Every structure is written in structure tokens, then in C-alpha cells.
Amino acid sequence: MAKNELTGIVKQFVESGWDVIDAPAKAWLAATSDLVAAAEKADVECGSCGCEMDPLYKSALNMLKEL
């Protein structure tokens, strides 16, 4: 629940239009989105090969999507 709240706050920072907080907030949201896309791709390409990373992709995706 706190992660969803944080994302909401960061989105409000973006909407504020104030340079001090707007750009860093946009960068944080973009970085989170990029990491979701990368984890999804890794899960598709290698998420069931049996290596130690397989469950980590899924766990990371679940946590990132809560953001």
C-alpha cells in the first residue's frame, strides 16, 4: 500500500510543474517503467530456464507493478 501511495505522490510532483521537483519525479517514474519493461523481457527470454534468476524476475515484476 505504501508503494502505491508513493507513486501517487510522485505523480503529483510531476503534475506540479515546479522545476525543482517535476524533472526528478519524471525521471523516477521513467526509470521504474524502464525496469518493468526490462524485467518483463528477461522473464520472457529466460524466466524458465531453471537458473537462480528465474524467480527473481517474477518477484521484481510483482514489486515494481505495485509501484
Domain spans of the chain, in order of start: 2-66
Q: How far apart are CA 67 and CA 58, in angstroms?
A: 15
Query: What is the pLDDT at residue 65?
Result: 79
Q: Mutual orientation of helices 19-46 and 2-16 as an angle, nearest 10°?
A: 130
Tens digit of pLDDT at every position of the chain (67 positions) = 477 788 889 999 999 999 999 999 999 999 988 888 999 999 999 999 999 999 999 999 888 877 7
Tell if the pTM clears 0.85, that is, is over it: no
Query: What is the pLDDT at residue 51?
Result: 92
Beta carbons of 10 and 25 less than 8 angstroms apart:
yes
Give the residue from 34, 32, 4, 42 showing the smallest Cα distance to 58: 42
**Residue 52: φ, ψ to 5°:** -65, -15
